[in-house]
Amino acid sequence: MLTESEQDPATFWEEFYLTKRRTSSGRATAALQRIAAKLTPGRALDLGASHGDDVIWLAQQGWLARGCDISETAVARARARAAEVGLEQQAQFEQCDLSAALPEGAFDLITALYLQSPVALARAAILSQAARQLRPGGHLLVLSHAAPPPWSPKATPSTIFPSLAEELAVIGAPTPELEAIHAEIVTRPGRGPDGAEATLEDNLVLVRMRLT
Ligand SMILES: C[S@@+](CC[C@H](N)C(=O)[O-])C[C@H]1O[C@@H](n2cnc3c(N)ncnc32)[C@H](O)[C@@H]1O
């Protein structure tokens, strides 16, 4: 029998959305809201978009936003939510395997919000490619769990939790073209399955492709 980490990623995440996460909060990620409020809307791409809360929020702020995810179920739910709020043109979703390829195009904002996985994910290659798909003046926002929550039931491989230096290294920033605007640990309140509260730490990295 396969251990969890050996499972096929598409099967693992499909099962996750069918059995463990059936609903969405309907709320956009707070760090994204803070950062995007300072940017001029353009074309956005969210990597690992789940139920689409962040993409739909971006569309509501005037972005032409796309989300992609490996789970057909998550993508179908995201599309249905965009249609419910009348934003199916501005908030579009597609099934993809980012480990194979990113959606084509150049973007003013690319987000990778908790794009972390206990099964195979070519995360470093994905983030490095994302940086190459930024338009001049475009931003890449990476938010990642910096450590497991205290209620985590098992020892999770430490490779899932990158440091800020590792995040910058895989993105390939800073360089003369790619400016590192933020690289910091941010905190947020969290609540475990039994209601226990804790302060959770995230890596927040924001880089910008310089204007030529
Ligand atoms: C930890 S969840 C984070 C979801 C969402 N961005 C958020 O902030 O809640 C990781 C997401 O990445 C997706 N994912 C994992 N591997 C993927 C892959 N190879 N290609 C595309 N999406 C993938 C999963 O289906 C899942 O929705």
- Tell me whether residue 105 is in a domain: yes
- pLDDT tens sequence across 68-84: 999 999 999 999 999 99
**Best mutation site among 7, 11, 13 for ligand 1, i.e. most ligand atoms within 8 A of its Cβ?**
13
Q: How far is the CA of 158 from the centre of ligand 1 (A)?
A: 18
Which domain does 201 fall in, by range?
7-20+28-209
- 109: burial class by Cβ within 10 Å (0-12, 13-18, 19+)? buried
Over the stretch 102-141, which tens digit does the pLDDT of each residue have? 999 999 999 999 999 999 999 999 999 999 999 999 999 9
For ligand 1, atom 10, the nearest C-alpha belongs to 115
Ligand 1 centroid to residue 146 C-alpha, Å: 16
Q: In sequence order, which ranges of 7-91 are alpha helices (DSSP H)?
A: 9-15, 30-36, 53-60, 72-84
CB atoms near residue 59 (< 10 Å): 25
Asked if the structure places residue 169 within a domain, the reply is yes
Q: Is the CB of 48 under 6 A from ligand 1?
A: yes
Asked if the structure places residue 2 within a domain, the reply is no
Q: Which CATH number characterizes residue 69's domain?
A: 3.40.50.150
If you search the block for the tokens 């909060």, which residue do you land on?
A: 25
For position 157, what pLDDT does the model report?
A: 53
Cβ atoms of 27 and 56 closer than 8 Å: no
Give the per-residue pLDDT at 161. 86
Peptide bond between residue 162 and the one before it cis (omega within 30 degrees of 0): no
Question: For the chain, which residues score pLDDT lower than 70?
Answer: 1-4, 153-159
